[in-house]
Amino acid sequence: MSLEVLLVDEDRDVLEIVETFLGQEDDLSVTSEADPETALEMALTGEYDAVVSDLKMPRLDGLELCAAIREQDESLPFFLFSAREPGDVQPAATQAGVTAFVQKGTGTEQYSALADRIRDAV
């Protein structure tokens, strides 16, 4: 059985890269969305096991997206995947209801860490 992951980032190149790496995991199926407002509707009406979102996005950032999802669904695992330093984001992320924060970086180990966090939460 595959875990359904909704991936949200306004940068389509980033979406493609992350989707490629997560899609290589046998147990993850990834759906990408560049518009956070559309992603909110998808998260609330779709059958997703987890949401992975960038932090900085236009109109609705990752924390606002998480808070909006939490108003309807407190149990859906929500992960911030951002280049920001964890210490800069953690207090606000905890308040918004973020399940975990995974820092973007160079190399590919970040994708394995993200996949592991998703599996652990689901």
In a 3-state reduction of DSSP, which class is residue 101? strand
Phi-psi sector, 97: left (phi>0), alpha (psi -120 to 50), beta: left
Distance, in Å, from the CA atom of 24 to the CA atom of 38, rounded to the nearest integer, reads 25
Q: 3-121: which CATH architecture?
A: 3-Layer(aba) Sandwich (3.40)
Amino acid in position 28: L
Mind listing the pLDDT tens digit for each residue in 7-30? Answer: 999 999 999 999 999 999 999 999
Is 0.85 surpassed by the pTM of this model?
A: yes
- Phi and psi angles of residue 73, each rounded to the nearest 5 degrees, phi first: -145, 105
Mind listing the pLDDT tens digit for each residue in 60-95? Answer: 999 999 999 999 999 999 999 998 888 888 899 999
First to last CA, the chain: 12
Amino acid in position 73: D
